[in-house]
Structure 1
Amino acid sequence: MALQFTATNPEHPALLLELPWHAPLEEWPEQHLVDLPRGISRHVVRYAAAGTEIVAVKELAERPAVREYELLRDLHRLGIPAVDPLAVVTGRTGPGGEPLEPVLITRHLGGSLPYRSMFETTMRPATVHRLMDALAVLLVRLHLVGFAWGDCSLSNTLFRRDAGAYAAYLVDAETGETHARLSTGQREYDIDLARVNISGEMLDLEAAGALHPSVDPIAFGTEICRRYHELWTELTRTSVYPAGKYHYIERRVRRLNDLGFDVAEMQIATSPEGDTVTFVPKVVDAGHHQRQLLRLTGLDTEENQARRLLADLESWMATQDDYAPGDPLGARPEVLGHRWVREVFRPTVRAVPPRCRGPLDPAELYHQLLEHRWSLCERTHQDIGLEAAVDDFVAAVLAKESDGRFAEEGGGDEETGGGA
C-alpha cells in the first residue's frame, strides 16, 4: 500500500516527506527528533523537525486519526485554542512490508508546556490556581461552540503564558464530539470527568512530591467545577434591566471583557410595555471587532476602539424603531451602522471644540467620551446622555489641558483618522 498524506495545505506533505515513515515511531533515529517535554499519552508520541517546523507525531489507528484530524480542523476554524492539525499519514509499512499504524501530525505549540513539566519545581498555589482558571476558560469556550471534550484532563492540555496569566490549549481531541448545542447533561458530564481526572492527576503529583503541601488534590478538582459554572453563568445568562439603564449593559460587557471574552454582538429586546430591556451577549475571541465595525460603519480603527464603538452602536440600534433582527422589513445592520455614524458618531466628535482635541483621532476621542460618560453614570447611578457627557468632558477634562499639552500639539480635524 502506497504512503498517503491527508492534508488541507499542499505544503505540509512536502515538509514531512523526509521523515522516516517506514520505521515505527518508537524507533525513529535521534537525528529527526526534537527533545521537548511530553505529556502522558496512551499512544506513542514524538516531536520531530520537518523543515523549519517542529511537529508532534502520534501513532494511532486510521479511523480515530482521521476523526481527530477533522475535529481539530473544526476547532481551528472556530478559533478555539487547540493544536493546529497538519496531516494524517496512512499506508505506512516497515522494512519487511509489515503494516505500521497511521500517524496524526500537529504543529508544536511554541512556548507551551505539559502540566507535569510545569510542576517539576513545585509551583506556588497561586500559579496552580491560574492554571485551573485557564482550563476552566478553555472548557467554557469549547462548550459555547457545542464541543463535548469527553476526556478533559491536565494530560490532554498544554499551557502557555499569556500576558502574565496562562492560556490553556486542547491537545487531544480523540474523544471529542461536536453538536449544534450541548445539553446541560452533556456539559455536566464533561465537567464531572474533568473533576475526577484532575483530582487523580493532582494525587499523582502529590505522591511524586511535586505538589505544594497546601494544595488539596480533591478540593482542587472540585474548584475547577465552581470556576467553570461561574464563567458559564456570566457568559450565558439573560439579564433584565429597567428601560433607560443602558449603562447596566455596559457594566455587564466590561465584566465579560475582564474575564477574557469579547462580545461580538448583543441580543437586546424591550418588553411590550417598554419598561424592561432583556440582554443576551454573544461571545467571540479577540480580533473580531475591527472587521465588524468596518463592515457596519466604514470606520477603520484599532481593535480596542472597535470593541468599544461596537458596544455603543449595538445599544443605540436597540433604541431605533426600525431595528428588528430577523425581520426582512427591518433596517439592515449596515444601514443602521451608517446612520449611527451620521447621527451620533460625527456630531458627537464635532461637538468637541478643535482646540481641545489635541492629537486624538476621532475614534479615540469618541472612545474617551464614552469612557467619561461611563464614569459619570457609575458616579450618579443613572444614565447620562452623550450631549451632557460631552459638555462635562470638555469642561472637566480637555479644558484643563488646552493650555498645556493639547495647545502645544495643536487641534485635530474630525474628518481625519478613524474613517470618520
Structure 2
Amino acid sequence: MALQISATNPEHPALLLELPWQVPLEEWPEDLLVPLPRGISRHIVRYARAGDEVIAVKELAQRPALREYELLRDLDRLGIPAVDPLAVVTGRTDAAGDPLESVLVTRHLGGSQPYRSMFETTMRPATMHRLMDALAVLLVRLHLAGFAWGDCSLSNTLFRRDAGAYAAYLVDAETGELHQRLSDGQRDYDLDLARVNISGELLDLEASGALHPSVDPIEFGAEICARYRSLWEELTRTSVYPAGKYHYIERRIRRLNDLGFDVAEMQIGQTGDGASVTFVPKVVDAGHHQRQLLRLTGLDAEENQARRLLNDLESWMATQDDLADGARPEVLAHRWVRDVFRPTVRAVPPELRGAMDPAEIYHELLEHRWYLSERAQRDMDWDTVVEDYITTILPKARETLQPTTAD
C-alpha cells in the first residue's frame, strides 16, 4: 500500500510530505523535533515542525488512528475544547519495505502544557484546585455533547490560560465514544475512570517527590467528582418557578455565570403551576457578548455590561408569545430596545446620570432590580426600581464621585 495522507486542509499534505515517514517515529532526528513537555502515553508521541506549524505526531494502528481522527473532527464541529486534527498518514513503510504503524497528526495547542507537567512543578494547592475545576468543566461539556471519554487523565488533558481563565482541552480521544445522549451509567463510569486515573497519577507524582506535601491524591480524585456533579446538576436540572417569581430565573443565570458558564439559550415552558426552565450552557470567547449585543441591538457596551444586557434580553425574549412562532431574534431584540431598554434609561433624568452611558445605567438598574426582587421575594416593576434607584443609589454615587478639597 502506497503512502497516503488524509488531511482536513488541502495545504497540509504538501507540508507533511517533507517529514521522514519511512523512519520509525522514535528514530526521528532531533533537528526535526520540538522539545515540549509530554504526558504519559501508551503510544510513541513526538512534537515536530511542519512549515510554520508545530504538530503532535502519534504512532498507532491504522483503524484506531482513523477512528480518533474522525472523533476529533466531530468534537471540533461540536465546539468542544480539544486539539485540532490535521491528518492521518497510512501506508508507511521503512527503507526495507517493512510496514510501519500509521500516524495521527494534530496541531499543537499554543501556550498549553499537559496537566501532568503542571503538577510536576510543585504548584500551590489553590492553583491545583482551579486546574481541577477546569478539568471538571471539560468533562461536563463532553458529556453534555454525548461524548464518553473513557480515558480522562492528567496526561490526556492540556491546560492553557484562556483570556485570564483556566481552560482544559482534550488531547487523546482514542478510547472515546460519541452518542446522541449519555445515560447516567455511562457518565458515572466515565467519571469513575477519571477519578482513578487522576488519583493514580498524583500518587505517582507524590512518590517521585514532585507533588506539594499538603495535597492528598485520593481527596483530589474525589474532588473532581464532586465539582463535576455540582456543575452537572446546575446546568441540566429543570426548575419550576411560580408566577411572579421570574427573578428566580435571573438567580439561576447568576449561579451559572459564577460557575464559569454563559447561557446561550433558554427554554421556558408554561406549566400548570409555573414556568419550567432549562438552560443550554456555553463557554464563549472574550468579547463574545460585546459582538453579539452590537449585532442584535446596535448597542455598544463593555463586555460585562453586554453580558448582563444579553441575559436580560434572553429572559425577556423567552416570555414573548411570538418567539415560539419563529420570530427572528433580531426583530425581538429591536423591540426590546424600543419598548424596554430606552424607556427605562430615559426614566433616569439626564442631570442625574453623570458620566454614565446608557448601557451602564441599564446595567446598574438591572442590579438594583435584582436586589429589590430578592429582598421582596417577588418581581419588582421597572417604575418602582427606577424610583428607588434615583432616591437611594444615585445620591451615594454622587457623594463618592464628589472631589475633596484640602483645608
- TM-score scaled by length of structure 1: 0.87
Residue 131 (structure 1) shift:
2.3
Match in the other structure for 1:339 = 335
Match in the other structure for 2:5 = 5
Residue 238 (structure 1) shift:
1.4
Task: Decide whether the 8 Å contact of 2:38 with 2:155 is kept in 1.
Answer: no
Task: Decide whether the 8 Å contact of 2:58 with 2:105 is kept in 1.
Answer: yes
Tell me, yes or no, if structure 1 residue 98 matches structure 2 residue 135. Answer: no
Provide the C-alpha distance between the structure 2 equivalents of 1:165 and 1:292, rounded to a whole number of angstroms. Answer: 21
Match in the other structure for 1:67 = 67
Provide the C-alpha distance between the structure 1 equivalents of 2:363 and 2:242, rounded to a whole number of angstroms. Answer: 25
Range that drifts further, 288-297 or 375-384: 288-297
Q: CA distance change for structure 1 residues 376 and 156 in 2, over 3 Å: closer, same or farther?
A: same
Range that drifts further, 261-270 or 88-97: 88-97
SS at match of 1:35: coil
Residue 294 (structure 1) shift:
5.4
Provide the C-alpha distance between the structure 2 equivalents of 1:91 and 1:36, rounded to a whole number of angstroms. Answer: 28
- Percent identical: 77
Matches within 5 A, 1:6-405: 6-162=6-162, 166-272=166-272, 275-287=273-285, 289=289, 293=293, 296-297=296-297, 299=299, 301-320=301-320, 322-323=321-322, 325=324, 328=325, 331-398=327-394
SS at match of 1:23: coil
Deviations along 1:43-67, whole A, 9 cap, x unmatched?
A: 1100111222211111112221122
In structure 2, runs of 5+ residues without a counterpart are 403-407
Provide the C-alpha distance between the structure 1 equivalents of 2:179 and 2:395, rounded to a whole number of angstroms. Answer: 56
Equivalent pairs, count: 401
Matched letter for residue 198 of structure 2:
I
Provide the C-alpha distance between the structure 1 equivalents of 2:248 and 2:344, rounded to a whole number of angstroms. Answer: 22
Range that drifts further, 385-394 or 35-44: 385-394
Provide the C-alpha distance between the structure 2 equivalents of 1:250 and 1:15, rounded to a whole number of angstroms. Answer: 51
Deviations along 1:232-256, whole A, 9 cap, x unmatched?
A: 1111111222221222111111111
Task: Decide whether the 8 Å contact of 1:355 with 1:402 is kept in 2.
Answer: no
Q: CA distance change for structure 1 residues 69 and 304 in 2, over 3 Å: closer, same or farther?
A: farther
- TM-score scaled by length of structure 2: 0.89
Provide the C-alpha distance between the structure 2 equivalents of 1:378 and 1:331, rounded to a whole number of angstroms. Answer: 32
Task: Decide whether the 8 Å contact of 1:79 with 1:285 is kept in 2.
Answer: no
SS at match of 1:109: coil
Task: Decide whether the 8 Å contact of 1:317 with 1:323 is kept in 2.
Answer: no
Over aligned residues, Cα RMSD in angstroms?
2.6
Residue 280 (structure 1) shift:
1.2
Match in the other structure for 1:409 = none
Deviations along 1:63-115, whole A, 9 cap, x unmatched?
A: 21122112112212222111111111222222222222221111112222223
Range that drifts further, 170-179 or 160-169: 160-169
Match in the other structure for 2:405 = none
In structure 1, runs of 5+ residues without a counterpart are 407-420
Deviations along 1:332-382, whole A, 9 cap, x unmatched?
A: 544433322221122222223333444444333322321232233334443
Residue 136 (structure 1) shift:
0.9
Provide the C-alpha distance between the structure 2 equivalents of 1:315 and 1:116, rounded to a whole number of angstroms. Answer: 41
Q: CA distance change for structure 1 residues 291 and 119 in 2, over 3 Å: closer, same or farther?
A: closer
